Amino acid sequence: MVDPITFHNALAQSGIDFYTGVPDSMLRPFCACVAEHTKKERHIIAANEGAAIGLAAGSYLASGRPALVYMQNSGLGNAINPLLSLADMSVYGIPMILMIGWRGEPGVKDEPQHVAQGQATTSLLNAIGVEHYQLPNDTAEATTMLNELRKQTIKDNKPVAVLVSKNTFADYHADENDDEPVTLSRERAIELILNQIKPDSSVVSSTGMISRELYELRDHFKQNHDTDFLTVGSMGHCSQIALGIAVTNSNKRVICLDGDGAAIMHMGSMAIVGQASSANLLHVILNNGRHDSVGGQPTCGLEINFTTIAEGCGYQLVRSANDETELINALDAMSDLEGPLLLDVRIGAGHRKDLGRPEISPQDQKRNFMRHLLD
């Protein structure tokens, strides 16, 4: 396996000193190492993968040195536009190294939302003219490859990619900072929300731990899953799925359970929610300032004010909650109000170690949810 600290040191010695991207579980040890051993201004966790390409381009223009951009392969879709219209050698020719976690790699078991993307990854890179290689599962070989790729991207004046398979990096334990104590976990917050909303409300949950916890809570309380749409992929698009449902079926109350990282990824969607003036939509952001589903890397969720942003976008009422009492009171106050409404819930990081995954197939889930909506 590749030792993250040795690998990072080799990158630094080769002249790569700017890192940006969106965290991925397969790259978690490497990202943790970068975060601990890189100056804050030289490592920026981007809002989305396309923005990371822009950051890498800006760093190169100001330094003449290529940056390293990390992402999950699901983020390639966000990155394709700036890769082709900015970084491609037919436009500005911006060298950079893309490090891509290969979820859904053919022959490797993975969740349903990663299968199609995993099969298409190399074809997508071929289609946009980005040469790609698979990172060796050996520290010395991996560092040699990255040194060669750095030379190649500079010589060719275009991006080059390296694909990272499952368990390529050895584990890395960063020094933990003590977070502020919190009184509310995400799972407890979701439980309280389910207890407060009307039973026939339609719930659209964001990718990652939110959907997994929602699914297990329904099972725990022996409740039906048919009212829930679990957005197991498509990070950042949960609010737009919820909005599409809300404006098309105004008879159903729609609850969007979003995450702070997902909301930040496509924050412009909040402007669309606000301007659509959907009276039956409640947008809840479960905000712990973390990319909790891929390793707990920080977001700026706790440093910004989602309620002020939503108010400026045209949401009819905005509230925040920091504990159980404030959450219950906010939900009570919003229960009969017309929206769109936004509730920013400050929660703790982390999740249960024994948290499972949804057992229903996406196709069955879609079918059951549509039956609920059309009933």
- Which of 164, 194, 210 finishes a domain? 164
Please tell me whether residues 156 and 204 are part of one structural domain: no
Instruction: Give CA–CA dist 185/372, Å, rounded.
Output: 29
**271-303 pLDDT, tens per residue?**
999 999 899 999 999 999 999 888 889 899 999
Please tell me whether residues 232 and 346 are part of one structural domain: yes
Instruction: Give CA–CA dist 142/146, Å, rounded.
Output: 6
- Compute φ and ψ for 144, nearest 5 degrees: -60, -45
State how far the alpha carbon of 132 is from the alpha carbons of 68, 163, 320, in Å: 14, 7, 45
Please tell me whether residues 220 and 134 are part of one structural domain: no
Indicate whether 182 pLDDT > 80: no
Indicate whether 227 pLDDT > 90: yes
Q: What is the pLDDT of residue 248?
A: 96
Confidence band, pLDDT 50/70/90 cuts, at residue 176: low
Confidence band, pLDDT 50/70/90 cuts, at residue 6: very high
Q: How many domains would you assign to the chain?
A: 2
**Is-contact 141 148, C-beta < 8 A?**
no
Please tell me whether residues 160 and 196 are part of one structural domain: no
Question: Is 33 strand, coil or helix?
Answer: helix
Please tell me whether residues 99 and 210 are part of one structural domain: no
Number of H helices and number of E strands within the chain?
14, 14
Q: Tell me which residue of 133, 131, 156 sits closest to 145, measured CA to CA.
A: 133
Interacting residues of 77 by C-beta distance below 8 A, sequence separation 6+: none
- Which of 164, 194, 214 finishes a domain? 164
Strand ranges for 166-223 from DSSP E = 202-205
**234-252 pLDDT, tens per residue?**
999 999 999 999 999 999 9
**93-109 pLDDT, tens per residue?**
999 999 999 999 999 98
Asked if residue 324 is part of any domain, the answer here is: yes
Q: Calculate the average pLDDT of the chain.
A: 94
Q: What is the pLDDT of residue 174?
A: 72
Please tell me whether residues 134 and 19 are part of one structural domain: yes
Please tell me whether residues 212 and 288 are part of one structural domain: yes
- Compute φ and ψ for 355, nearest 5 degrees: -65, 125
Instruction: Give CA–CA dist 20/196, Å, rounded.
Output: 40
Instruction: Give CA–CA dist 70/75, Å, rounded.
Output: 10
Query: Lowest-confidence range among 123-127, 190-194, 355-359?
Result: 355-359
Asked if residue 169 is part of any domain, the answer here is: no
Instruction: Give CA–CA dist 264/290, Å, rounded.
Output: 11
Asked if residue 283 is part of any domain, the answer here is: yes
Q: Tell me if the bond preceding 340 is cis, omega within 30° of 0.
A: yes
Residues forming beta bridges with residue 343, ordered by sequence position: 284, 319
Please tell me whether residues 209 and 310 are part of one structural domain: yes
Instruction: Give CA–CA dist 21/67, Å, rounded.
Output: 10
Q: What is the pLDDT of residue 96?
A: 98
CATH number at residue 284: 3.40.50.970
Please tell me whether residues 30 and 82 are part of one structural domain: yes
E strand or H helix at 131: strand 131-134
Which pTM does this prediction carry?
0.92
Which residue range forms the structural domain that includes residue 281? 186-374
